Amino acid sequence: MQLDLGSDPRTDILRRMHAALIKKFDRIVRPDDKRRDPMWTLVQGVIGAQAKTAVSNANTDRLIADYGSWEKVLEAPTETLTVKLKTATFPSIAAERLQACLQEIIAQRGAAKLDHLETLDTADAMAWLETLPGVARKISAGVMNTSQFNRRALVLDAGHRRVVQRMGLVPGKADTARAYDALMPILPPEWSAEDMDEHHLLSKRLAQTLCRPKKPDCASCPVRSDCETGR
């Protein structure tokens, strides 16, 4: 007979954390009209390394507006694309990675589309995405969660990962993939894809305002009572 050992206590911590962050920062809900198509979301992730979201969004919008298709972006001279991405943190690297990623997608699928991921479960879709140049766990989860796919996948950036590491929810030296693998099984089962998106955005806000890399303001933190570091 299999014993019911109850839920993981970290699941309740995540529930309390979510409620406390909403109380502190209010709701952060992504409107449906802000969910872009998966290719746009992928491109935004590939060119957005260490850049502010607004900058990456603007660059992605400008590329598709200027070239008309992602196939045309691939055909553009890399030097020209680098100039187009001058506001990115690393313009030349962003241009090279984007074109390498687009080239691989088109080679495999015949066009710059991700429609085939609709038929895959989320784990398999993310695994396929992570075979592409420049795509790791944060981007693959972002494509599945924040795009029109709207799947249950938790996006983790450096700030969010720092928060859950300090709280003791994931190992202190875990990279994004290990942190994701540790968190997904303990997320509240009732959380929807939208809840996971909001949880990331709230955790990101906490990391930017209070749980900073240096001199975190633990005294003002709304989740201090559940945080190993804060206590």
Give the model confidence (pLDDT) of 145-161 as tens digits: 999 999 999 999 999 99
Residue 199 pLDDT greater than 90, yes or no: yes
Domain with CATH 1.10.340.30 in the chain: 36-146
Cβ-Cβ contacts under 8 Å for 32 (sequence gap 6 or more): none
The first and second tokens of residue 105, run together, are: 């997608």
What digits encode the pLDDT tens for the residues 102-127? 999 999 999 999 999 999 999 999 99
**What is the reported pTM?**
0.94
50: pLDDT confidence band, cut at 50, 70 and 90? confident
CB-based burial of residue 58 (10 Å sphere; 0-12 exposed, 13-18 middle, 19+ buried)? Answer: middle
The hierarchical CATH code for the domain 9-30+161-226 is 1.10.1670.10
Q: Which fold has domain 36-146?
A: Endonuclease III; domain 1 (1.10.340)
32: pLDDT confidence band, cut at 50, 70 and 90? confident
Domain with CATH 1.10.1670.10 in the chain: 9-30+161-226
Answer positive or negative: Cα dihedral of 35, 38, 42, 44.
Answer: negative
